[in-house]
């Protein structure tokens, strides 16, 4: 069943970017390196999720901040992809992030530019836009780290507004911004093991420790918690159960954006009234499909369909 466009998935990506992907045979520090090819695309966690949703047949709405010449480029490229946006225009330009891919090893190095902090009036406009969009949303995703200087309570406030409208929330973040949102009982808190360690302030080295850490987030208010660990898979932890998902083995082209593709797949599954367990299975397939392509947030529907039956799920 195709989700209704009357109740779109609202993707909140406060810090979108123009992504530049440079491909090399190999990179050696301190000398001249000549790249084999250069690609550009819209990026940022919310942008990547919206792109995957659009590819898989949903009509998401993407909101955040965009400004300057790079912001104009971002809006044009998203419009060309058919992705509906409701960006707040900023005085500061949209950031540019660079991915360096070494073809010999498939190693990816990410050079991340921090996003500028919006001014007071831009924040006020954003909250008005969010209030308008959430009124029609069927689900909202809050993804990514906040820009330096942003209030750590921001995701908690957005989750509170969504909760008042009875709109389910998926949050993919860490540390205080995540913990602040947990008090609003998001449907799903998603993070990787390293982010879980940062949030709890403790080392996590084993699957039982992952499940135990996830249960700490349940105790703080999350209704479900998903913890990812790269090739080792993902753990979905609910109050009364825990599941481990094994991702299909694929040839890696570029892993950047796979977590965002997973978020999109989960959101899409839930919008189609799948159970959380089945929605996460779709998310894992989307994450695996993302690594097959050179651009973040770029999946092929055929790859997702092919990989979905290969996702293994067992009780943890």
- Residue found under tokens 């700490």: 216
Asked if the model's pLDDT at residue 261 lies above 80, the reply is: yes
Fold entry, domain 9-27+35-315: 3.40.1190
Q: Is pLDDT at 2 greater than 80 in this prediction? A: no
- Name the helix (H) or strand (E) containing 237: strand 234-238
288-316: string of b/e by CB count within 10 Å (b at 16+)? bbbbbbbbbbbbeeebbeebbeebebeeb
Cβ neighbour number for residue 5 with a 10 Å cutoff: 13
Task: State the average pLDDT over residues 11-25.
Answer: 95
Does the structure show a pLDDT above 90 at 253?
Answer: no
**Alpha-carbon distance 230 to 50, whole Å?**
22
Average pLDDT over residues 146-174: 97
| pLDDT tens track for 131-147 | 999 999 999 999 999 99
**Whether residue 294 has pLDDT greater than 90:** no
Q: What is the pLDDT, as a whole number, of residue 254?
A: 79
Mean pLDDT in residue range 194-200? 98
Instruction: Report the distance separating Cα 85 and Cα 64, nearest Å.
Output: 9
Give which of 225, 141, 158, 214 is closest to 188, Cα–Cα: 225
**What is the C-alpha separation between 187 and 173, in angstroms, rounded?**
14
Q: What is the mean pLDDT of residues 202-207?
A: 96
pLDDT of 3 > 90? The answer is: no
Q: What DSSP designation does 21 have?
A: E
The pLDDT, as a whole number, for residue 255 is: 84
pLDDT tens column, 212-236 = 999 999 999 999 999 999 889 999 9
- pLDDT score of 1 more than 70: no
- Predicted pLDDT at 114: 96
198-214 average pLDDT score: 97
Mean of the per-residue pLDDT values for the chain?
Answer: 95
**15 DSSP assignment:** S
For residue 6, pLDDT over 90 is answered with no
Percent of the chain past pLDDT 90, that is, above it, reads: 91
Buried-exposed string 13-44: b where 16+ CB fall within 10 A, e elsewhere: bbbbbbbbbbbbeebeeeeeeeeeeeeebbbb
CB 13 within 8 A of CB 44: yes
Domain boundaries, the chain: 9-27+35-315
Residue 143, Cβ neighbours under 10 Å: how many?
Answer: 27
Rounded Cα distance, 234 and 242, in Å: 10
- pLDDT mean over 293-305: 92
- Predicted confidence (pLDDT) per residue in 52-96, tens digit: 999 999 999 999 999 999 999 999 999 999 999 999 999 999 999
pLDDT at 26 over 60: yes
């Amino acid at each position: 069943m195709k989700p209704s466009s009357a109740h779109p998935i609202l993707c909140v990506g406060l810090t979108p970017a123009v992504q530049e992907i440079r491909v090399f045979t190999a990179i050696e520090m301190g000398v001249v390196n000549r790249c084999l090819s250069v690609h550009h695309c819209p990026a940022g966690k919310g942008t990547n999720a919206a792109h995957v949703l659009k590819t898989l047949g949903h009509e998401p709405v993407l909101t955040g901040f965009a400004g300057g010449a790079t912001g104009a480029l971002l809006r044009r490229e998203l419009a060309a992809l058919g992705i509906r946006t409701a960006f707040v225009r900023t005085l500061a330009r949209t950031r540019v992030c660079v991915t360096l891919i070494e073809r010999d090893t498939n190693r990816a190095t990410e050079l991340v530019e921090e996003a500028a902090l919006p001014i007071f009036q831009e924040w006020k406009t954003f909250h008005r836009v969010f209030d308008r969009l959430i009124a029609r949303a069927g689900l909202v995703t809050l993804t990514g780290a906040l820009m330096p200087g942003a209030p750590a309570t921001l995701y908690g406030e957005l989750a509170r507004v969504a909760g008042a409208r009875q709109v389910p929330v998926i949050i993919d973040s860490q540390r205080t911004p995540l913990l602040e949102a947990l008090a609003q009982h998001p449907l799903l808190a998603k993070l990787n093991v390293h982010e879980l360690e940062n949030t709890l302030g403790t080392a996590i080295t084993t699957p039982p420790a992952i499940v135990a850490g996830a249960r700490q987030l349940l105790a703080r208010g999350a209704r479900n918690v998903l913890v990812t660990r790269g090739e080792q898979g993902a753990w979905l932890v609910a109050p009364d159960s825990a599941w481990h998902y094994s991702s299909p083995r694929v040839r890696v082209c570029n892993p950047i954006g796979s977590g965002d593709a997973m978020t999109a797949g989960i959101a899409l599954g839930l919008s189609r009234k799948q159970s959380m367990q089945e929605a996460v299975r779709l998310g894992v397939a989307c994450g695996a499909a993302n690594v097959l392509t050179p651009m973040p947030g770029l999946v092929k529907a055929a790859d997702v369909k092919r990989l979905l039956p290969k996702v293994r799920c067992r009780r943890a």
